[in-house]
Amino acid sequence: MNRDYILAVDAGTSSLKSVLFDENFVAVTQDRVEYNYEADGLSVQIHPDLVWQAFLKVTRSLEEKGYARKVELIVPCVFSPALIAMDAEGTPLFPAIIHWDRRSIKQARKAVRIIGKERFLQVAGNIPYPGGISLTSMLWLKEERPEVFARAAVLGHLNTFLLKKLVNRWIIDPTNASVTGLYNTVAASDWSKDLARDLGIPLEKLPPVVPSFEVAGKITKEASRITGLPSGIPVLVGSNDTSAAALGAGLFEHGQVLNISGSSEILVICLDHPLPDERYYLRTHPFPGRWLMYDIVIGGFALEWFRSQFCRELPPDTFYHAYLAEVLEGKGQGKVKCVPYLTGDRTSLVQKKASFSGLTLDTTREECLRALVGGIVGRMRKTLDMMSERLTLHPTMVITGGAGSALLEYKRRVFRDFEIELKENCSILGCMEIARRFLRQGR
């Protein structure tokens, strides 16, 4: 094909980022559009149209810069889970229920009673934790919003929604399907008919699973009119953003390690065979024959919560740089402990909450902040120690995301047995790796 520009799109939890690359895979221009999610008690959701409008702002920016009509290929990655119930036209019937949501605890426990933990692990590779595995949100809709469930033609993720908008096809990729709780993640094959049947989820409501490197379809005339992108250009299926980041970070070999630092802290380890365990999540790698284990805990959002509640007099720049650096270099981490579950525990069927312990009348906010960071990073340290008993970990840890210098230096101390390699924009780089593979195949 005549390659002018490749558009990589990363739809995250709070913003959509795009980077335009030339035919030599050199970044030409980039844009970022923010949006808000809604949190109410255990419910955390976002309206899919906010993400779509963010995408349209990106394409309008490309039009203004004179690039939109020169795009020849699009590669997306999306955060997940983000369960979206859609009608036959692709219109959302309910806000996207996202990974921080915990309203489906009852449904998660019910699913475990029906299937059993061992069977879930043997097939889906995961325990259906509320929010973290979108099956529980499907069951919540079925029980609590039966009219929405009945009207839904398709129960998909964010990429299902976006691809329907762009190419008018129903699709989900394996990296997204593997955190639904209904996909055979261990075999990396397809939807489990048995799990779907036993849990009462009609298979016809689940989109076809298509590999990340395949063409989802071509931009329709209607999508071209709305976006300003050329009609008929291919859109690749793409992947989940964590999986794309692993690809972009170069995680291809068994035991390679990645830490994604952002609103959440995510620890990812590449596997050459599936190792399902209820203490973490398992998903497919974008490359066939590879899997990714990952553990996740709240990260940047916890620090922002602390700043907004206890350090309001400090401007964000001061807090995240000079103040945080000074605090993390201080002593006293052992006096105060923090369980950092401000958004719950993504690997628990119990609704855990955050807490501080060891407080006395002379406890300072600095000690509490050290304890908060220690609880977050300590969770990843424990997971690494656990995994090191099951496989040989690579001596290098790649870190990507928004970790400032203060947090990074703290991580260097905690992960001192690893050589730290910094790499920016790994999710976008993963999209580019998907594009490279597609183009090498001459399609």
- Widest Cα–Cα separation across the chain: 69
Going by pLDDT thresholds of 50, 70 and 90, the confidence category of residue 1 is very low
Q: Are 32 and 16 in contact (CB under 8 A)?
A: yes
Q: How many CA atoms lie within 13 A of 251 on its CB side?
A: 42
- What is the sign of the dihedral through the CA atoms of 279, 98, 352 and 320? positive
Superfamily for the 5-243+427-440 domain: ATPase, nucleotide binding domain (3.30.420.40)
Q: What's the CA gap between 130 and 421, in Å, rounded?
A: 33
Could you give the count of Cα atoms lying within 13 Å of 356 in the half-sphere of its Cβ?
19
Residues 230-254: what's their mean pLDDT? 98
Q: Quickly count: other Cβ atoms within 10 Å of residue 309's Cβ.
A: 9
Find the length of the chain: 443
Q: Nearest CA to 334 among 378, 380, 384?
A: 378
Q: DSSP 3-state assignment of 308?
A: helix
Contacts of 213 (CB under 8 A, 6+ apart): 236, 237, 286, 434, 437, 438
Q: Report the CATH superfamily, name and number, of domain 298-422.
A: ATPase, nucleotide binding domain (3.30.420.40)
Q: Is the pTM of this model over 0.85?
A: yes
Q: Which of 72, 111, 132 is nearest to 296 (CA)?
A: 132
pLDDT tier at 2 (50, 70, 90 boundaries)? very low
For range 348-366, the mean pLDDT: 93
Q: What is the rounded CA–CA span in Å between residue 302 and residue 305?
A: 5
CA 303, 306, 307 angle in degrees (round to 5)? 85
pLDDT tens digits, one per residue of 392-404: 999 999 999 876 7
Query: What's the mean per-residue pLDDT of the chain?
Result: 96
Question: What phi-psi label fits residue 307: left (phi over 0), alpha (psi between -120 and 50 degrees) or beta?
Answer: alpha
The pairing of strands 234-236 and 239-240 is unpaired
What is the torsional sign of CA 432, 433, 438, 440?
positive
Region 41-54 average pLDDT: 96
Tens of pLDDT, residue by residue over 130-158, are: 989 999 999 999 999 999 999 999 999 99
Mean pLDDT of 169-174: 99
Q: Is the pLDDT of residue 309 over 90?
A: yes
In whole angstroms, give the CA distance from residue 55 to residue 232: 18
- Average pLDDT estimate for 256-280: 96
Collapse the DSSP code of 239 into the 3-class scheme (helix H, G, I; strand E, B; otherwise coil) and give the result: strand
Per-domain residue ranges of the chain:
5-243+427-440, 298-422
The C-alpha angle with vertex 214 and arms to 212 and 219, in degrees rounded to 5, equals: 105
Q: Report the pLDDT value the prediction gives residue 3, as an integer from 0 to 100.
A: 54
Q: Give pLDDT, residue 332.
A: 53
Sign of the dihedral through C-alpha 345, 350, 356, 357:
negative
Rounded Cα–Cα distance for residues 51 and 124 (Å): 28
